[in-house]
Amino acid sequence: MEIKDLQRENIKNLKPYSTARDEFKGQASVFLDANENSFGSPLPANYNRYPDPLQLDVKDAISKIKGVPIENTFLGNGSDEAIDLLFRAFCNPGKDNVIILPPTYGMYEVSANINDVEVRKVDLLANFQLDLDKIAETIDANTKIIFICSPNNPTGNSIDRTDIETILANFKGLVVVDEAYINFAKQKTFIQELTEYANLVVLQTFSKAWGLAALRLGMAFSSRQVIDILNKVKPPYNINQATQDLALEALKNIQQVNEWIKITVAERERLRAELTKLSLVKKVYPSDANFILVEVMDAQKTYNDLVEVGIIVRNRSKVSLCEGCLRITVGTVEENNQLISILEKI
Ligand SMILES: *Cc1c(COP(=O)(O)O)cnc(C)c1O
């Protein structure tokens, strides 16, 4: 399999936009090449210059933490931008298809629909693991991407590593492993497998463990070939300067993030134990993420009762295989105590 043959023909032939920063790289004292405001910005910090299109400083800092070379790293305006770009670069509208494994993250299907790309669904098994036989039957010559979310949203479990490896080794398209919740998991990241499989794309994000959902910064790690294609297709300045500055600051605070991860995992297990004791709870699913899927007697009623006291959870009871379930994010110790004491009363 050649990655360059997986991309759409128009993308293969695309001459990308060339920015002023692409045409002149280096130090100079007077920049009159990008029609910026040379006087400055009406802000304490200066944002008058266009940002680095390849965000090399941020990628360098990420590389020191993740161990992934800069040229294997793509940054998007949220992981959602990387997902959309994968469709735009690799999937021919009205012709190609992708495989998703419900119940899973909703954005894969929305992004496919926006791009007029067929979605083939292979439900997870009752234990929320992959149905490898059905996946194999569903793949055809036009299947470009398989999306595997691990730990999976909304079920919370990690997908068996050997099953993902089986797909990586046998499928001749891209395998996207969405690791938005990997920081909370016992399972290790697939980043180590990047050198092994050119068709592997690992998605991670600053939106969850890093506490920066509002910044909109997502990471895609992959082979040089895939990353080069994403860089060619992306909007030139997709990560703004404020985000780049703030991400660099945040990356210096990894200790704080690791502290929160530890507390979140401990709280998740405490919450799980407490929820299990409640009479309105039928089943608490094990979780490798920062949320728990809980089957209750009457999901709509429990949801409404919680809204009544100002606590909002996600009602997933209409989702296939999640019937009767609520998805509850692990909050602070105080928030979790509040949730439990309310649930004990209603
Ligand atoms: C929250 C989440 C993301 C994050 O998306 P961003 O665009 O980076 O905020 C990605 N994948 C899954 C499965 C998620 O639940």
Task: Return the domain boundaries, the chain.
Answer: 3-252, 255-345
From 104, 152, 202, 207, mutation site for ligand 1 pocket: most ligand atoms within 8 A of C-beta:
207
Tokens representing 288 are: 């490798």
pLDDT at 213: 98
Q: Where are the alpha helices (DSSP H) in 30-128?
A: 56-66, 79-90, 107-114
Ligand 1 mutation target, pool 80, 176, 179, most atoms within 8 A of CB: 80
For 195, the 3-state DSSP assignment is helix
The 8-class DSSP code of residue 140 comes to -
Residue 151 CA to ligand 1 center (angstroms) comes to 11
Residue 329 in contact with ligand 1 by CB distance below 6 A: no
Is the four-CA dihedral 224, 53, 144, 84 of positive or negative sign? Answer: positive
- To which H or E segment does residue 119 belong? strand 118-121
Q: Please, are residues 294 and 260 in contact by the beta-carbon 8 Å criterion?
A: no
Q: Which of 259, 287, 111, 273 is nearest to 185 (CA)?
A: 287
pLDDT tens, position by position, 308-324: 999 999 999 999 999 99
Q: What's the mean pLDDT in 248-267?
A: 98
CA of 66 to the centre of ligand 1 (A): 18
User: Max CA-CA distance within the chain?
Assistant: 70
- The C-alpha atoms of residue 203 and residue 177 are separated, in whole angstroms, by 6
Distance from C-alpha of 102 to C-alpha of 15, rounded to nearest angstrom: 37
**pLDDT at residue 1 is higher than 80:** no
**pLDDT of amino acid 336:** 98
The percent of residues in the chain predicted with pLDDT above 90, rounded, is 97
Preceding peptide of 151 cis, ω within 30°: yes
- Nearest-CA residue for ligand 1 atom 11 is 180
Residue positions counted in the chain: 346
Question: Of all protein residues, whose CA lies closest to atom 5 belonging to ligand 1?
Answer: 79
Tell me how far the alpha carbon of residue 346 is from its chain's centroid.
35
Query: pLDDT for 178-216, tens place per residue?
Result: 999 999 999 999 999 999 999 999 999 999 999 999 999
Digit-coded pLDDT (tens) for 102-152: 999 999 999 999 999 999 999 999 999 999 999 999 999 999 999 999 999
**The pLDDT value given to residue 51:** 95
Taking the C-alpha atoms of residue 175 and residue 202, their distance in angstroms, rounded to an integer, is 8
What span, in angstroms and rounded, lies between the C-alpha atoms of 234 and 231?
A: 5
Tokens (6 digits) for 7: 């991309």
The predicted model scores a pTM of 0.97
**pLDDT of res. 25:** 86
The owner of tokens 């990356």 is: 251
Assigned token pair, 65: 């933490």
CA distance 41 to 61: 27
Q: Whose CA is nearest to atom 13 of ligand 1?
A: 105
Shortest-distance atom of ligand 1 to CA 207: 9
- Domain 255-345, CATH: 3.90.1150.10
Q: Residue 265: CB within 6 Å of ligand 1?
A: no
Q: Is the CB of 207 under 6 A from ligand 1?
A: yes
Ligand 1 closest atom vs CA 205: 8
Average pLDDT for the chain: 97
Q: Which sign does the torsion angle of CA 51, 54, 57, 59 carry?
A: positive
Probe target for ligand 1 pocket from 107, 217, 221, with the most ligand atoms within 8 Å of CB: 107
* Helix, strand or coil, per DSSP, at residue 100: strand
Class of domain 3-252 as given by CATH:
alpha beta
